Amino acid sequence: MTAAERLAALEDLDTATICDRAQTALDALVEIMNRETTLLRAGHMREAGELTADKTKLAQDYVAIARAVQRVAPRLKAEAPERVEVLRRGHEALATQMAENLRVLATARNVTETLLSDVARQVNSGQQAKTYSPTGMPPKRSDDSLKGISINKAL
């Protein structure tokens, strides 16, 4: 089934079903983002990373149902205005949660990069002699004394 066919199938659902699916997708996405944010704040990067695949799937599901809701919004507003209002408020709360999640992710990435850079700098600082040669010049570094660590900044 193509994306267009899936979207059309969602649009054909009755009002209660489409609202229920939208609310379920929204709640699941908010819940996993809250878990990820909490884990990141606690420094549990590995556990937070394990949520990525599920979070991606839930986000895709939510986007699909949100598109369907947008396309049939006039019908939903006419048939269930209170449900539409609940979904709208939920969507706004999700946007706030996403901003917080992104802020925490950026902070975690920055802390990790800083920590790794500091470690690399410290490892390399121990490799340089702190004395001078008989000619008064600092000794030259040999290539084999240049040891360090590799930093992969792709998160």
Between CA 12 and CA 143 the distance in angstroms is 68
Question: Are 73 and 84 a contacting pair, CB within 8 Å?
Answer: yes
Between CA 136 and CA 139 the distance in angstroms is 9
For 4-8, 74-78, 88-92, which range has the lowest pLDDT when averaged over its residues? 4-8
What is the C-alpha end-to-end distance of the chain, expressed in Å?
Answer: 32
Q: Which two tokens stand for residue 6?
A: 């899936």
Query: What's this model's pTM, rounded to 2 decimal places?
Result: 0.72
Q: What percent of the chain has a predicted confidence (pLDDT) above 70? A: 81
**Helix, strand, coil share (%) of the chain residues, nearest 5:** 75, 0, 25
The amino acid at 29: L
Domains of the chain by residue range = 3-125
How many C-beta atoms lie closer than 10 Å to residue 108's C-beta?
A: 17
The per-residue pLDDT for 142 is 57
